[in-house]
Structure 1
Amino acid sequence: MTFSTDVHAQGEAAADPFGERVRPTISVRRQILGGRFRFESDSADLLDLVDAAYAGLPEHRFSTVAPEFRIELRLLPREAAATRTTPPPVRTQAGAGLLCGMMDEANYVVLVPAHHRGLVVVSQDMLAHPYHVRYELIEFAVFMLAARGLGLVPLHGACIGHEGRGVLLLGASGAGKSTLALHGLLDGMDFLAEDGVFVQPDNLLATGVANYLHVKEDVLRFLDDNVTRAWIEGSPVIHRRSGVAKFEADLREGAGRPPPAPLRLAGAVVVSAETAPDSSRLLRRLPWEQVPALLAVDQPYAAGQPGWDRFVHRLGGLGVYELRRGRHPQDAIAALRALLAAGVIGR
């Protein structure tokens, strides 16, 4: 009987070596970054990670009709008994109209942007690392397809706003973008995104995924609200590839204020780690001559994408500022609120 079963299994593998006859049994639809996404899988565990990333978020839409993006999620068995401490980093490659991101032979992403399709393959043992699967494989697929399929400029940065207008927060890792986003949230501002912002270059409408806030422990010293402190301290701790440990606080647990629609950018701020000598003068507008080169250095990937020149020209017309640190993050929030006030940005 064992011999017959093995022969039968080998025959099935020989007849379908690429797994083309595998048919996902469950599908989930989500409106993300202005696009319509359909996730298909026969694994409830993988679809749970989709929900962990995108359930409960406002459904952002642009004025144009968005195409449908389809992502198949496939779970593979893993024979290796070794336990992973840290998954291998994602290596990227492109060619023949494909975009690929690979951890190893059983954990990878293949995207066909021209056809709005993607395949995410995950091994069973990788489910022990849900953050890496969600952030580096599933969200990678969504971000790449949305940016290419909708013509969005993908930015590494944060965005907060008020009454439909937003300010883009740029700057090097560790400059304090997430800290500012948190304090803007606590001050009643809308929280669009803290790590990835996607912008239509012609009208500067910005969208993002307001699912998680990632902050280091040292941020807690500025928090006077015990409820907020308990929320963050009770959140899981994730480790970035750089080795930095951060709390991953779910914004959908009542603390978040995601805007119901994309925000129209009113300008951008480059967050500096430098402390200002006067907390009442944290901002200075950068001369236009400096802006294109500064933005290209800050956003090397986006600078090579279609729409970048239009985005820079439109943004520079509104105003790009440097923001230095004050005595307390709330000083910076006050400065950002002033920028968002009607008639201030662009002068």
Structure 2
Amino acid sequence: MTLNPHHGAQAAASDPFGERSRRHASLCRQIMGGCFRFESASAALLDLVDAAYAGLPPHRLPPAAPEFRIELRLLPRRASPPAAEPPPVQMQSGAGLLCGVMDASNYVVLAPAQRQALVVASADMLERPYHLRYELIEFAVFTLATRGLGLVPLHGACVGRQGRGILLLGASGSGKSTLALHSLLQGLDFLAEDAVFVQPESLLATGVANYVHVQADALRFVDDGEIRRWIGEAPRIRRRSGVEKFEADLRQGHGRLAPAPLELAGMVFVSSQAADDPDVLLSAVPGGEIAARLCADQPYASGQPGWHPFQQRMEQIGAHQLRRGRHPRDAVDALRRLLG
């Protein structure tokens, strides 16, 4: 068979936007109360999605879950990919679209009103699965779920038991992840350690309990050899801040993942400061200070729809500050007392 050397160029000229139908495989996952359909011609991208979301408890929120569609497109390798980490994502919006752009070959375009997103990645990004998953794919999932389900997006963690949860807030480095890990190891249900999404009317909280991220020095508080191996043998990731952490897969059977959304029963601001009295770690936050502390802790969420009813409900519940004790398990005991 004789090939026409101009065929490829002609095809590109006739379909410059890549709109023509391609053979796509798809997979569906129940995530954060929504049904997400991922479609791609790239098996490698779908494998990355499956690694992120397979095996999670299928959280559902009232009313019935809508369907979200995310198309993932793989481009050829960049001629000169960056030697260090990829460039940070730059946000843009307009004409009802939201965009997150790393560069011309790696970006996300979201249409929240249509519950759809396009994730584009270059083949070399498959060598950086953490950045590809966390900054492009999860960005699309979290943003669509937040806008499509009317959730308040929070930077924080959440643990609980018997359907009740405690929201853990605080600055990066305050110890939220370590506390969430030890809560899991001490028998509490693990909902999320980095991002929590709350339905403001019901105060039902959901998240993605796929990984926990802890620094190496947190292992000194882990006595169980099997748990130490589980974390110590996990891949290491590097945050944009430069902090390196283990990324341990929570679906390997260590502890219990929250099987359903947790109804928030309390809020705790986690502090890196040691308690004056190691037997008294919790102190109530005065009611008149809760709103200001909450807004200062969550600058992005405080500007989103649903914030004011959420804030009012959390003021009614009350808040505590948690300082460090002798061992993280002492902080877990304090959370248990709040849960009743």
Q: Into which bin does the TM-score normalised by the smaller protein fall?
A: over 0.9
3-state SS, counterpart of residue 18 of structure 1: coil
1:137-176 equivalence runs, <5 A: 137-176=136-175
Q: Percent identity?
A: 66
* 1:79 CA drift (Å): 4.8
Tell me, yes or no, if the aligned pair for 1:24 and 1:72 is still in contact at 8 Å: no
CA distance, structure 1, for counterparts of residue 291 and residue 190 of structure 2: 26
Match for residue 272 of structure 1?
271
1:1-347 equivalence runs, <5 A: 5-82=4-81, 84-341=83-340
In structure 2, give the amino acid aligned to 1:329: P
The superposition leaves residues 19-43 of structure 1 with CA deviations (integer Å, 9 ceiling, x where unpaired) of: 0014242010000000010000000
The superposition leaves residues 75-99 of structure 1 with CA deviations (integer Å, 9 ceiling, x where unpaired) of: 0112505563311111111111111
CA distance, structure 2, for counterparts of residue 27 and residue 195 of structure 1: 28
Q: Which moved more, 1:271-280 or 1:201-210?
A: 271-280
1:306/1:252 CA distance change after superposition, 3 Å? same
Tell me, yes or no, if the aligned pair for 1:296 and 1:303 is still in contact at 8 Å: yes
Count of residues paired in the alignment: 340
CA distance, structure 2, for counterparts of residue 153 and residue 82 of structure 1: 36
Tell me, yes or no, if the aligned pair for 2:78 and 2:122 is still in contact at 8 Å: no
* 1:257 CA drift (Å): 1.2
In structure 2, give the amino acid aligned to 1:150: L
Structure 1 residue runs of 4 or more that deviate by more than 3 Å after TM superposition: 81-84
In structure 1, give the amino acid aligned to 2:15: D
Match for residue 345 of structure 1?
none
In structure 2, give the amino acid aligned to 1:149: G
Which 5+ residue runs of structure 2 have no aligned equivalent? none
CA distance, structure 2, for counterparts of residue 139 and residue 305 of structure 1: 19
CA distance, structure 1, for counterparts of residue 194 and residue 82 of structure 2: 30
Normalised by the size of structure 2, how large is the TM-score?
Answer: 0.98
Tell me, yes or no, if the aligned pair for 1:24 and 1:40 is still in contact at 8 Å: no
Tell me, yes or no, if the aligned pair for 1:90 and 1:136 is still in contact at 8 Å: yes
CA distance, structure 2, for counterparts of residue 309 and residue 280 of structure 1: 35
Tell me, yes or no, if the aligned pair for 1:127 and 1:133 is still in contact at 8 Å: yes
Q: Which moved more, 1:85-94 or 1:115-124?
A: 85-94
Tell me, yes or no, if the aligned pair for 2:78 and 2:105 is still in contact at 8 Å: no
Which 5+ residue runs of structure 1 have no aligned equivalent? 342-347
Tell me, yes or no, if the aligned pair for 2:187 and 2:255 is still in contact at 8 Å: no
1:83/1:305 CA distance change after superposition, 3 Å? closer
* 1:326 CA drift (Å): 0.6
1:73/1:242 CA distance change after superposition, 3 Å? same
In structure 1, give the amino acid aligned to 2:32: L
3-state SS, counterpart of residue 174 of structure 2: coil
